[in-house]
Amino acid sequence: MGWWQISADTLAGSRFVISPFAEAFASLRLLHAAEAAHPGERRWLDAHLPAYRRRLARDPVTAQLISAGIGREWTADFLSPAPRDGEPFEQGVERVRAADPEAARAHLTVSLRGPVPAVLHRDDLPERAADLLTYVWTTAVRPYWPQRRHILEADVVARTAQVSRGGWASALDTLRPGTQWLGENRLQVNAHEYPPRELSGAELVFVPITTQRIGWVAWEGTERYALVYPCAGALADPGGGPVPASLGALLGAARAGVLVRLGSPLSTSQLVAVTGQGLGSVGRHLRVLLDAGLVERRRAGRSVLYSRTAAGQVLVEATEARNRPGPRRS
């Protein structure tokens, strides 16, 4: 297993950050894998995979570069520099473009676990990778970024609350498969057999992404480290589950949207993030739903979490079933 030795000071200074570049690279990896983890990813792939494949068909060098760079156990380092707090996509992708061509080819030998094909013995590999990432960001991520950012913000709220309740160990154990706090200041970051790394005095960030079967680690020298992980499953589907028309007619679309989201416990801040509604609006909807006995609340550490009651669950399921296509009697 791969693990990091993290000093108490480094862990205490670590933080969760949101990175549009990491989201774009995760989306590139999802396009490369073409395997959806939930209906929201399936809809996104159906919308963007055909155009992505056409682009690579017109550019076989870049197609082979991506296939070589995204390995089964390792991704070429120059493709995924460690995300930085507050960095816009454009600055992140310029770090890819500025990579040294010789170093990029060396990174490919690691991801390929062997020699680089002759077609990739060229000096424009970083520029080609940056151009493809820019294409993915512009066409397939940026149109959804406001909603995805809300989802990622909600995950950060939940993780921060988890750290407050149970400490870093409880939060790190649940980041992604293969990640586990081992004790004695050791964090397992994946299941692969790689040499441990000493992070004392380094900057450490944890970066959520919306894609669900994807995660990775990245670093710059010994100064900056990042662990990129899929955001919480309850928040992951950008579609969020459609609001049944009959439920929207009964409660109002905005209030029904809050009730639909509460299949898993969420805080007010998380609801604001994932619904895009204002704090005052979400608060009013929750008061009405509480008074009607459709949701309940409970305290978890410093957070107050809301979830559907049995009555709220029956109502949502009944309206979903009513709106589901089914056989008709003649």
* DSSP bridge partners of 219: 225
Residue 277 Cα distances to 259, 268, 330, angstroms: 13, 11, 43
- pLDDT (tens, 9 = 90+) of the chain, 330 residues, equals 588 999 888 988 899 999 999 999 999 999 999 999 887 889 899 999 999 999 999 999 999 999 999 988 889 999 999 999 999 999 999 999 999 999 999 999 999 999 999 999 999 999 999 999 999 999 999 999 988 888 888 888 878 877 877 788 888 887 887 788 888 888 888 877 778 888 888 899 999 999 988 889 999 888 899 999 998 765 666 555 678 888 988 899 999 999 988 877 788 877 887 777 888 999 999 999 999 999 999 876 566 888 899 999 999 988 877 665 544 333
Q: Determine the 3-state secondary structure of 58 from DSSP.
A: coil
Domain with CATH 1.10.10.10 in the chain: 239-321
Cα gap 62→54, rounded to integer Å:
12
Going through 134-256 in order, the beta strands assigned E by DSSP cover 180-183, 186-190, 197-198, 203-209, 216-220, 224-230
pLDDT of residue 280: 92
User: Residue 118 carries which side chain, given as an amino acid letter?
Assistant: A
Predicted pLDDT of residue 312 = 92
Question: What's the CATH fold of domain 239-321?
Answer: Arc Repressor Mutant, subunit A (1.10.10)
Residue 110 has phi, psi (to 5 degrees) of -75, -45
Residue 321, C-beta contacts closer than 8 angstroms, at least 6 positions apart: none
pLDDT confidence of residue 135: 98
Q: What is the pLDDT of residue 235?
A: 62
Contacts of 290 (CB under 8 A, 6+ apart): 296, 297
Contacts of 70 by beta carbon, 8 Å cutoff, 6+ apart: 29, 32, 76, 79, 111
